[in-house]
A = this chain, B = another copy of it.
């Protein structure tokens, strides 16, 4: 990355411009201070060229590895499918370029370990994993409250994660663990500042709105190293909307975030003349709920990168969440608690 300093703008390349990657590209082009979007890469060349036309001044690469190696790119944002992350992360590390990698780090714990090892060999941290909740103002405030000690030692965490529905016709129960619960895994580790030592997935009789055979909702229990317990509800066919809540219960108090009633509160008449209602709409998806968190995340990554520093979740966090989710998938099959065993490799500072 060389001489990037606070004087100059950070030149960023985005790999993968599907829904998430295109959002990130627009964000870098229009809302992030100190960064310039210089290049994008996507296997779907038409999609990439259309976006480049929209944003202006952006080079399109067919080959993600070419973008990563390009002299026009100081740092890389990976929004490609998880299955190609390992190769692309290793390329970034080889180039000595900072990379913000959307979760999951990689698809299994072995490949995640290989990434960690390559990064360690280079001697300085390069990888940030895209657990954006750590940058959500409400989660940050909860983290702060826990850290402040005002609620005493945290004993319990109750996490709720509801999606409106899952359109994917190939959806399987394991995806709830790997793609949704993974956020709760990271939040528990981050908020409590300790590792998960066992995970148990409890499947109630599923909703009839899920595909046949899919266990949804799922209640999941984490035991933490300190003995703290985390209960999770993940329900991806809740039909109501995107609801993410977290309650921390400490020795001297508790705190809840994620209540929808923080928004505009309305009363509305019933057009049919029945009882009116108070309340408001539920946000449809994570892009609305966490838009601000993504902005703050990418700004923080750009700022730290320009200063030659690091911030946010590391490759170790990506690895640990993969290990926990792998254990969770095993528990999903058996209903029994499964121990979580992490490699004895210390993370980079």
Q: With A217-B156, A249-B235, A252-B239 in contact, do A278 and B280 touch (Cβ < 8 Å)? A: yes
User: A255 at the A/B interface (Cβ < 8 Å)?
Assistant: yes
A217 to B235, CA, bound (A): 25
A184 to B281, CA, bound (A): 27
A155 to B267, CA, bound (A): 14
A107 to B326, CA, bound (A): 44
Q: Which of B150, B262, B268 contacts A261 (CB 8 A)?
A: B262
Q: CB distance A268 to B31 under 8 Å?
A: no
Q: CB distance A266 to B158 under 8 Å?
A: no
Number of this chain's copies in the complex? 4
A252 to B207, CA, bound (A): 9
A192 to B201, CA, bound (A): 22
Categorize the interface residue count of chain A.
35 or more
User: A243 at the A/B interface (Cβ < 8 Å)?
Assistant: yes
Cβ contacts A216-246/B at 8 Å (1 or 0 each)? 0101010100111101010100111101000
Binding site for B on A (CB under 8 A): 6-7, 29-35, 56-57, 138, 141-142, 145, 150-153, 155-156, 158, 164, 202, 204-209, 217, 219, 221, 223, 226-229, 231, 233, 235, 238-241, 243, 249, 251-257, 259-269, 275-284, 292, 299, 303
A56 to B306, CA, bound (A): 14
A296 to nearest B CB, angstroms?
A: 10
Sample (15) of A-B pairs whose CB atoms are under 8 Å apart: A145-B264, A152-B208, A156-B217, A156-B219, A219-B229, A233-B249, A239-B253, A240-B277, A252-B269, A257-B264, A259-B262, A261-B261, A275-B284, A277-B281, A278-B282
Q: Which of B6, B282, B299 contacts A267 (CB 8 A)?
A: B282
A29 to B226, CA, bound (A): 43
Task: Give me the 10 closest cross-chain CB pairs, A-B, nearest first.
Answer: A279-B279, A262-B262, A205-B227, A240-B276, A239-B269, A204-B229, A241-B276, A253-B268, A275-B281, A240-B267
